[in-house]
Amino acid sequence: MIFKPQKYRIKDESMINFIDPEEINDYLNRAKPTTDMVRQVIEKSLNKERLNLEDVALLVKATDLEQIEMIKDGAKTLKRNIYGNRIVLFAPLYVGNLCNNNCKYCGFRASNSKAERKTLNDQELYENVVALEQNGQKRLILVFGEHQKYNAQYIADTVRKVYNIKSGNGEIRRVNINAAPLDIADFKTVKESGIGTYQIFQETYHPEAYKKYHLSGKKADYNYRVTSLDRAMEAGIDDVGIGVLFGLYDWRYEVLALVRHTNHLEACYNVGPHTISFPRLQKALNLDVDEQYLVNDEEFTRIIAILRLAVPYTGMILTARETAEIRREVLQYGCSQIDAGTKIEIGAYAEKFQKNQELKKEQFQINDNRSLNDVIEELIEQDYLPSFCTACYRLGRTGEHFMEFSVPGFIKRYCSSNAMLTLAEYLMDYAPPETAEKGWKLIEKSMLDLEGFQNIDEVHARLMRIKNGERDLYF
Ligand code: SAM
Ligand code: SF4
């Protein structure tokens, strides 16, 4: 099973392109998985040993149905044994869709003259954030096109404004960013505003496919994009998110490249990405893509199971691009965060929502339009514990996924306890009575899992304090 790739890259160096397509193809070409090999790789992951690229290549090359079942079962077991049943909830807030780039898959691209351009002004930002808070949201990701208007200062100012908007018991406690790559000084400016994660997706790690899909604008520079998060790290942002837009190039190559990117960040900065996202190509205004690499549902769910096994201590984000049905299935394989109550038409949280059939104000089409409460209720019914926890980030506990994975008792002490406290807040402030009833039952049941645990009395006490009106209690 052991083989040596023909060519090893020299040591990873900061801010230098680390993706070598030949190396990745070499791993892919050599991987000839048998059922035994696949089993060994899964066992390695379940034993909390790190998978290498050779192992991951075996998983992505597995085509035999039995092997695929083993991979999905392995991911389920890993998720259950290590992470338990928490799911963190957030919402995206599209701030503006001006864009200088021409990404062929995106409705916001500069050449899309039919796209309605809009940037939220202060009043609209306020109204949208209030609407999100009044729904019960506590964690947002702000999304921007790439445009001179959305410079680092603008992004930082927007983050500060969002943190300052309060409505009753509502407040946003964590603001993440999905925006264009910056230089080091600009990343520092954004960091100072108190962001959580800075997400930048490479879209495709394959240089030729990248060139084909990114026709003009700053994003056309592959090297600048692929080293973005190196600059973020150099600027002191150690909480970063990576991702691939599945459907642009062979998914097997992209999965290995995501792992390679993870290895690069770990080698250079001693910390891997906080999250991995796996958007899948959706309909968009004038979508212009080659269909040969589109990923079907079975492959998509398999990708998620493989990533869970390959990078077990990285958070995995699944968005409302996917249908409720797909989301239900892959939650079992280890996604730790989902958005809910999502609206991606700019300004739509505050407007009476009129679905825009022509996709003029949306970047792409989403497929799960359920409300936050509907999603929460379904999670509760399926025994997941919805969480709005922001504790690690606010207490400076970075690397929380790694700690969840490797520190015994971490999940009970912090994650489960905080999930219950934040769910209790939601049930008190925003949930309709039927959801509240189901939610309190779930909290009671989840308390049983803390039986014998040192801080159980304190969790009880804090739940009582929340019932009596206190807010924002966390461990
Ligand atoms: N403009 C910034 C950028 O390109 O990095 C911010 C991100 S963009 C607004 C958010 C992400 O949406 C992109 O990185 C891309 O992966 C994804 N996306 C774009 N078009 C899409 C489509 N048609 N279907 C699904 N996801 C898409
Ligand atoms: Fe602009 Fe981002 Fe869309 Fe590309 S993906 S066109 S950079 S908004």
Report pLDDT digits (tens) over 341-397: 999 999 999 975 455 555 667 778 899 999 999 999 999 999 999 999 999 999 998
> Does 103 sit in the ligand 2 pocket, CB within 6 Å?
yes
Q: What are phi and psi of 150, to 5 degrees?
A: -90, 60
What spacing in Å lies between the alpha carbon of 52 and ligand 2's midpoint?
32
**Do the Cβ atoms of 412 and 385 come closer than 8 Å?**
no
As to burial, measured by CB atoms within 10 angstroms (0-12 exposed, 13-18 middle, 19+ buried), residue 461 is: exposed
The per-residue pLDDT for 9 is 58
Distance from Cα 248 to the centre of ligand 1, integer Å? 12
Query: How far is 420 from 347, CA to CA, in rounded Å?
Result: 31
Q: How many angstroms separate the Cα of 308 from the Cα of each of 63, 71, 266, 325, 441? A: 18, 10, 17, 19, 30
pLDDT score, position 89? 98
Q: Quick one: pLDDT at residue 409?
A: 84
> Beta-carbon neighbour count of residue 333 at 10 Å?
25
Measure 310 CA to ligand 1 centroid, in angstroms.
Answer: 24
What lies within 8 Å, CB to CB, of 303 at 6+ separation is 246, 251, 255, 278, 295
Nearest CA to ligand 1 atom 13: 201
pLDDT digits (tens, 9 = 90+) for 194-205: 999 999 999 999
Ligand nearest to the CA of 216: 2
Q: Is 410 in the pocket of ligand 1 (CB under 6 A)?
A: no
- Per-block mean pLDDT, blocks of 10 residues, the chain (475 long): 49 94 97 98 94 98 98 96 91 98 95 94 98 98 98 98 98 98 98 98 98 96 98 97 98 98 96 96 88 96 98 95 96 95 95 58 87 98 97 89 82 93 98 98 95 90 98 97
What is the model's pLDDT at position 153? 98
Distance 149 CA to ligand 2 centre (A): 14
Residues 6+ apart with CB under 8 A from 458: 475
Residue to substitute in 178, 205, 300 for testing ligand 1 pocket (most ligand atoms within 8 angstroms of CB): 178
103 φψ region: left (φ > 0), alpha (ψ -120 to 50), beta (else):
beta
Alpha helices in 215-371 (DSSP H): 222-226, 228-234, 251-269, 297-310, 324-331
pTM, two decimals, is 0.96
Dihedral sign (CA 472, 439, 444, 428): positive
Q: Over the stretch 186-240, which tens digit does the pLDDT of each residue have?
A: 999 999 999 999 999 999 999 999 999 999 999 999 999 999 999 999 999 999 9
Rg of the chain over CA atoms, in angstroms?
A: 22
Rounded to whole angstroms, how far apart are CA atoms 263 and 21?
A: 15
Per-residue confidence (pLDDT) for residue 3, from 0 to 100: 44
d(CA 139, CA 173): 6
Ligand lying closest to the C-alpha of residue 367: 1
Q: From 104, 106, 155, give the residue whose CB has the most ligand 1 atoms within 8 Å, as the site to mutate.
A: 106
The finding on whether 106 has its CB within 6 A of some atom of ligand 1 is: yes
Q: Is the CB of 246 under 6 A from ligand 1?
A: no
Ligand 2 atom having least distance to the Cα of 99: 1
**Contacts of 457 by beta carbon, 8 Å cutoff, 6+ apart:** none
Residue to probe by mutation, ligand 2, list 101, 142, 204, most atoms within 8 Å of CB? 101
Evaluate whether 222 touches 211 at the Cβ level (below 8 Å): yes
Kindly give, in sequence order, each residue whose CB lies less than 8 Å from that of residue 468, ignoring residues fewer than 6 positions away. Answer: none
**Among the atoms of ligand 1, which is closest to the Cα of residue 145?**
1
